[in-house]
Amino acid sequence: MHNTTDNIMAVLMLINLALTASSRLNLCISLVSLQGVALGFLPLFSHNGLNLRTAFLAVVVVAMKGVVFPRLLMRAVRGANVRREVEPFVGYGASILVGILLLGISFWVGNRLPLPVSAVSSDLVVPGAIGAILTGLFLLTSRKTAVTQVMGYLVMENGIAAFGLAVVPEVPMLIELGILLDIFVGVFVMAIVIWHISREFDHMNADQLSALKG
């Protein structure tokens, strides 16, 4: 069981690195959804293992992060008729270096937090979660396209979800569903706004959304 959790977390970290390095928007969207799916399976292999509750949540998470979100984002990209590049402010080479740095930081921080990590879950979960949060923030700040910012938000959200799994295994179902609903509506709303933006501006670069100042 431990080993499976370890492997999932390693995949999660690799996807973080791949996201900092990849230049294709479609690839990035697939990577993010893959990360979400991997995360959805995580509860099945930690603490209580497979039961009705975890299975239900896993199905919901996988359906949302693996199917719905990528569809929404792909549609936003296709509808926007933009260049399929990520268009970073920070070059890809430097991005990878930053990714590695963030990875190191997350291990350093993760091993020092006085968290009551539940004994059954792997000690990779917290560093992986922090890594995803930091990577998400990095993607949010270093990429121009609006879609990439949504992806950064999703990666960050994935990290937070993993973190929650490690420290609070028994979040009540109601809260968990509420959070998922919020994220779903969030991505939905963002996709609509991106659609509007691309129609109004003929592009969807967030760095050109800078008319309002002062």
4 counts as binding other proteins under rule CB under 8 A: no
- Residues 80, 84, 87, CA angle at the centre, nearest 5°? 105
52 counts as binding other proteins under rule CB under 8 A: no
112 counts as binding other proteins under rule CB under 8 A: no
Q: Which residue has the tokens 């509506």?
A: 185
17 counts as binding other proteins under rule CB under 8 A: yes
Q: Total residues at the site for other proteins (CB under 8 A)?
A: 64
Residue from 87, 88, 107, 144 that binds other proteins (CB under 8 A)?
107
Bridge partners of residue 85, in order along the sequence: 24
Residue from 1, 24, 178, 207 that binds other proteins (CB under 8 A)?
178
Cβ of residue 181: shortest distance to other proteins, in angstroms? 8
Q: Tokens representing 58?
A: 């896993």
Q: Are 183 and 164 in contact (CB under 8 A)?
A: no
Binding to other proteins, residues 77-96 (CB under 8 A):
92-93, 96
Ranges of H-type helices in the chain:
2-21, 25-45, 52-61, 69-80, 92-110, 125-142, 146-167, 173-201
Bridge partners of residue 24, in order along the sequence: 85
Pattern of binders to other proteins over 192-211, x per CB under 8 A?
-x--xx--xx----x--xxx
- Residues 33, 38, 42, CA angle at the centre, nearest 5°? 140
Residue from 50, 63, 115, 207 that binds other proteins (CB under 8 A)?
115
Scored b (16 or more CB within 10 A) or e, 1-31 reads eeeebbebbebbbebbbbbbebeebeebbbb
Q: Tokens representing 99?
A: 């990714």
Q: Tokens representing 144?
A: 């121009």
Q: Are 198 and 81 in contact (CB under 8 A)?
A: yes
137 counts as binding other proteins under rule CB under 8 A: yes
163 counts as binding other proteins under rule CB under 8 A: yes
Of residues 60 and 96, the one with the C-beta less far from other proteins: 96
Residues that bind other proteins (CB under 8 A): 3, 6-7, 10, 13-14, 17, 21, 92-93, 96-97, 99-100, 103-104, 107, 111, 113-116, 118, 123-124, 127, 133, 137, 140, 146, 149, 153, 156-157, 160, 163-164, 167-172, 174-175, 178-179, 181-182, 185-186, 189-190, 193, 196-197, 200-201, 206, 209-212, 214
